[in-house]
Structure formats: structure tokens, C-alpha cells
């Protein structure tokens, strides 16, 4: 489940189940299949049931690492 909406919707989602990985994307952490290292120390997130990859912004990398215990 990927939401590409303004941050207003972000406030309505439960904080424990979703992660804003980029200003344009908020992902359901239970749907993360794989986290792929990308260039310039960034990551891409591959999700179950979706064929595209979601970028992780450089400003959210530290939060992603803490969340996923990387």
C-alpha cells in the first residue's frame, strides 16, 4: 500500500504501521519486501504486490535504519 498524497493524509494513518520515506511517498511497513542500496547512500524500497520501487530520501535514511534495525 503506497500513498502518494499530501502530508494531511499522513496524519490520519497510524504511526506504528506507516513510514514516510519521501515527501511524496508513505509506505505500509508490513508490505516492505526488500530494501535495496542505491547510489549516494540512498535506498529504494520494494514492496509486495507492486512492480515499482519507492525511493527513500536522504533526510529519512536514519529514521528508516532505526525503524528496520539496519
* Cell numbers given for 27: 509506505
Direct distance between the N- and C-terminal alpha carbons of the chain, in angstroms, rounded to an integer? 22
The pLDDT tens digits of the residues spanning 11-53 come to 777 778 888 888 888 888 899 999 998 888 889 999 998 888 9
Alpha-helical segments (H) within 1-70: 7-12, 61-68
> How far apart, in Å, are the Cα atoms of 59 and each of 19, 40, 48, 49, 50?
13, 12, 24, 27, 24
The pLDDT tens digits of the residues spanning 43-68 come to 999 999 888 899 999 998 898 889 88
Residue with grid cell 535506498, as numbered in its chain: 43
Amino acid at each position: 500500500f503506497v500513498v502518494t498524497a499530501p502530508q494531511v493524509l499522513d496524519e490520519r494513518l497510524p504511526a506504528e504501521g506507516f513510514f514516510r520515506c519521501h515527501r511524496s511517498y508513505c509506505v505500509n511497513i508490513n508490505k516492505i519486501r526488500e530494501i535495496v542500496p542505491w547510489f549516494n547512500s540512498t535506498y529504494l524500497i520494494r514492496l509486495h504486490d507492486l512492480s515499482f520501487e519507492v525511493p527513500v530520501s536522504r533526510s529519512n535514511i536514519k529514521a528508516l535504519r532505526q525503524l528496520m534495525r539496519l
